[in-house]
């Protein structure tokens, strides 16, 4: 298999290719290593997947955690630290080492608007012009000093990025940037949202602010995604909505994924995992393959995979999809 690596990809070109694509394509999402660990595993994943030509790689970001450490006098001292730093350095490494488009996640929680602007300036200098704007988990938020300001919602962060695209910085005007911004969407609604219609209105608002495309939260029943796309269209959402899939790898995922992400596990899938001796990895690959074929046949030729820390299941799935799409 021949590697096809380009160093000149920009996201709008990618999206145009997706819209014109007559065969299967994909992108992936990875997480940075824990503090103190090296990049070996992450780079191994990239090198395993490069022959299949991923269109881009998302790299997640994490807010700082707050720990309370006991001191010798018996009191506790608060310590704020990030367990998995390195998102933006990893994106630069992937871009310049492999020539693959890298897309960092930007968060509201854990970062002030001033810190966000500094990061955006660095990314602009590095030529990384595609971002994902997310609110982040409020439980990891931290109080800001009096001289700092905050973005509360992803729409606030998106507005800040779009302002920089017009040359408006926090303390005056400057050179316009050229960021393209992706946002998240939730086929089964966000866990904190009162209802799906509320979510759809938020997605429309993000589109109106300047979002270029949306990537869905993971789902295991394609009907949720199809219904969401229809409702989004009815609410005048016209930006591309890319399906996001997670391949189940263990029996624990049947319980942990709904708890963490608010996604529904279909009864048919849970029955497959009722047997504790069943090969969870193979069951997960087969279910994802079924989803991919159905999405492909319904015109969704590009799929975003939540890979995180291992590519083995995705590699098997890509081989099957490659044969299926011949």
For 141, the token pair is: 């938020």
Q: Is residue 2 part of a domain?
A: no
For 193, the token pair is: 């949202």
- The β-bridge relationship of strands 168-169 and 172-173 is antiparallel
Tally of domains in the chain: 1
Q: So what's the pLDDT on residue 34?
A: 86
Q: Is residue 5 part of a domain?
A: no
69 or 145: which leads in pLDDT: 145
Do the Cβ atoms of 29 and 307 come closer than 8 Å? yes
The pLDDT of residue 76 is above 50: no
Backbone Cα Rg of the chain? 20
- What are the residues whose beta carbons fall under 8 Å from the beta carbon of 272, sequence distance 6 or more? 278, 283, 287
Compute the distance between CA of residue 121 and CA of residue 131 in angstroms, rounded to an integer.
13
Compute the distance between CA of residue 256 and CA of residue 243 in angstroms, rounded to an integer.
21
Query: Comparing 70-74, 261-265, 270-274, 303-307, which segment has the lowest mean pLDDT?
Result: 70-74
Tell me the HSE value of 9 on the side-chain side, using a 13 A CA sphere. 25
The pLDDT of residue 137 is above 80: no
Residues in the chain: 326
pLDDT digits (tens, 9 = 90+) for 164-183: 999 999 999 999 999 999 99
Q: So what's the pLDDT on residue 10?
A: 47
Compute the distance between CA of residue 89 and CA of residue 288 in angstroms, rounded to an integer.
31
Q: Is residue 222 part of a domain?
A: yes
Q: Is residue 80 part of a domain?
A: yes
Q: Residue 117: give its domain's CATH number.
A: 3.20.20.220
pLDDT digits (tens, 9 = 90+) for 230-273: 999 999 999 999 999 999 999 999 999 999 899 999 999 999 99
Give the pTM. 0.88
Q: Is residue 196 part of a domain?
A: yes
Q: Which domain holds residue 255?
A: 11-324
The pLDDT of residue 86 is above 90: no
Q: Is residue 1 part of a domain?
A: no
Q: Is residue 188 part of a domain?
A: yes
pLDDT above 90: percentage of residues in the chain: 73
Long-range contacts at 73-81 (CB < 8 A, ≥ 24 apart): 80/142, 81/35
Neighbours of 46 (CB within 10 A): 22
Q: Is residue 220 part of a domain?
A: yes
């Amino acid at each position: 298999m021949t590697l096809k690596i380009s160093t000149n990809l920009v996201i709008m070109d990618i999206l145009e290719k997706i819209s014109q694509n007559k065969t299967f394509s994909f992108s992936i999402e990875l997480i940075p290593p824990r503090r103190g660990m090296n990049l070996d595993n992450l780079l191994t994943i990239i090198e395993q997947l490069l022959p299949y030509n991923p269109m881009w790689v998302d790299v997640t970001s994490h807010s700082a955690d707050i720990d309370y450490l006991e001191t010798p006098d018996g009191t506790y001292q608060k310590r704020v630290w990030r367990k998995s730093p390195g998102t933006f350095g990893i994106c630069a490494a992937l871009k310049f080492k492999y020539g693959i488009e890298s897309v960092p996640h930007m968060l509201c929680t854990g970062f002030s608007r001033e810190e966000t602007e500094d990061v955006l300036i660095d990314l602009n200098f590095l030529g990384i012009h595609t971002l994902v704007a997310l609110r982040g988990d409020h439980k990891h938020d931290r109080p800001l000093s009096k001289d700092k300001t905050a973005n509360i919602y992803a729409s606030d962060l998106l507005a800040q990025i779009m302002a920089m695209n017009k040359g408006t910085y926090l303390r005056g005007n400057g050179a316009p940037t050229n960021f393209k911004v992706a946002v998240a969407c939730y086929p089964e609604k966000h866990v904190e949202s009162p209802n799906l219609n509320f979510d759809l209105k938020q997605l429309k608002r993000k589109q109106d602010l300047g979002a270029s495309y949306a990537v869905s939260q993971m789902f295991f029943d394609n009907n949720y995604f199809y219904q969401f796309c229809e409702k989004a269209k009815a609410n005048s959402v016209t930006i591309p909505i890319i399906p996001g899939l997670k391949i189940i790898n263990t029996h624990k995922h049947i319980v942990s994924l709904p708890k963490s992400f608010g996604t529904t596990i279909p009864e048919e899938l849970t029955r497959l995992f009722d047997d504790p001796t069943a090969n969870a990895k193979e069951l997960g690959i087969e279910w994802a393959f079924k989803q991919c074929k159905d999405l492909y046949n319904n015109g969704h030729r590009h799929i975003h995979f939540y890979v995180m820390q291992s590519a083995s299941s995705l590699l098997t799935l890509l081989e099957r999809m490659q044969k299926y799409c011949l």
